[in-house]
Amino acid sequence: MMNEVENTEPMKVGPAKAARGTWGRREAALVAVVVFGLTLVVVLARYGEAHPAPDPTAHLETEELYVTPQAARRMSLGFSAVVADWYWLRTLQYVGRKMNNYQGAIRLDDLSPLRIRQLAPLLDHAATLDPQFTAVYEYGAMILPAVDADAAVRLLRKGIEANPLAWRLYHHLGYIHWQRGQFREASETYAAGARVPGALAWMQVMAAQMQVRGGSREVAREIYRRMYTEAGDEQVKTMAFERLLQMDSLDERDVIRRVLAEHRAATGNCARAWREVTATLRAARLRTDASGAPLDPSEVPYLLDSDACDVGLDSRSKIPRK
């Protein structure tokens, strides 16, 4: 129309809409900073792996931590759980790499030969970034005691402080004290865990057993049985299961030694072959193979030491030696 005038002025943006646009840019910038920080950490870690020290075992000695957990938490800008997951994966890679490079047999609950000096700091980083990440405490309770027992205790206490209602963490801390032969501390820890709302009744039972039979095989069997039942990590469950087999094997070897001692007392000589005592072994409800040799819980025949009237584990056995 003739009277209409084209409006050529720029459209004005209201305060609310402008704020939303500014927040969108700010949020994008924060995400970019987080992504850049994580990328930088990955690049630095990969660079360290690609440029090892002249010592051929140097890559088995260190795992550089480029920032403190407190700094990493500040840098995460609200994404600390994601960064904790990254540290957790680095921990598993760190341990796995060392196990792959180690020449010899190694067990999850005794990684001391690997000299994994950075294991405790890595786990502490993950726990600081995500205090509710219970898998970190569970894993640390299994593998840290043989590497750094004091660090293992600190990690579990940290977990309990951050998760006061997580009664299973008391079980893991009690396990560490029991493993160190600190039966009074173990009993007190289990008793404290038993008082947590929702804790199962066996926690109080464990507290009592620690006071009376702290170092007994029965207590060890109960600890590993509970650990196998409660563990969420498959590696931990496997370790606990193997320890349960070890308890069974120790009981069986006690029976076999009694049979061998009775044979010596009756004949004046040590048994030279298993068939000499097979009938007695079977009467004692021990499993034997076709040759009459008793089988350990991993289905491998026990070895007969005919000079010492003793029994031992075959090198093929899956039963832990210590």
pLDDT digits (tens, 9 = 90+) for 132-143: 988 899 889 988
Query: Virtual CA dihedral for 18, 23, 29, 34, nearest 10 degrees?
Result: -170
Q: By the 8 A CB rule, do 279 and 290 touch?
A: no
CA 97 to chain CA centroid, nearest Å: 16
Mean pLDDT, residues 292-321: 95
pLDDT of residue 38: 61
**Residue 272: both structure tokens together:** 């030279």
**Region of poorest pLDDT, from 31-35, 173-177, 178-182, 195-199:** 31-35
Distance (Å) of CA 322 to CA 147, 195, 257, 298, 313: 16, 34, 18, 16, 11
* Burial class for 270, CB neighbours closer than 10 Å (0-12, 13-18, 19+): middle
Mean pLDDT, residues 188-209: 94
pLDDT tens readout for residues 259-283: 999 999 999 999 999 999 999 999 9
**Residue 91: both structure tokens together:** 């921990």
pLDDT of residue 215: 87
**Residue 314: both structure tokens together:** 């075959």
pLDDT of residue 52: 44
The pLDDT-based confidence of 149 (bands split at 50, 70, 90) is very high
The pLDDT-based confidence of 291 (bands split at 50, 70, 90) is very high
Three-class secondary structure of residue 305 per DSSP: strand
pTM higher than the cut 0.75: no
Whether 183 shows a pLDDT value over 60: the answer reads yes
pLDDT of residue 223: 92
pLDDT of residue 236: 84
pLDDT tens readout for residues 63-95: 455 455 555 555 554 556 667 777 778 877 888
pLDDT of residue 110: 79
Mean pLDDT, residues 103-109: 78
The pLDDT-based confidence of 302 (bands split at 50, 70, 90) is very high
Query: Virtual CA dihedral for 182, 187, 189, 193, nearest 10 degrees?
Result: 160
Three-class secondary structure of residue 223 per DSSP: helix
Three-class secondary structure of residue 312 per DSSP: strand
Whether 31 shows a pLDDT value over 70: the answer reads no
Q: By the 8 A CB rule, do 264 and 270 touch?
A: yes
- Identify any residues that bridge with 288 across adjacent strands, giving them in sequence order: 294
Query: Which amino acid is located at 128 in the chain?
Result: T
pLDDT of residue 109: 78
Query: Virtual CA dihedral for 311, 316, 318, 320, nearest 10 degrees?
Result: 50
pLDDT of residue 116: 84
Query: Virtual CA dihedral for 31, 37, 38, 42, nearest 10 degrees?
Result: 150
Task: Print burial letters for 199-219: b (CB count within 10 Å at least 16), e (below 16).
Answer: beebbeebbebbeeebeeeeb
pLDDT of residue 105: 77
Whether 200 shows a pLDDT value over 80: the answer reads yes
| Gap between the Cα atoms of 304 and 269, Å rounded | 14
- Report how far apart the first and last C-alpha atoms of the chain are (Å, whole number): 98
DSSP-H helix ranges across the chain: 15-50, 69-75, 80-101, 119-129, 134-143, 145-162, 167-179, 183-194, 202-213, 217-230, 234-267, 278-283
Whether 96 shows a pLDDT value over 90: the answer reads no
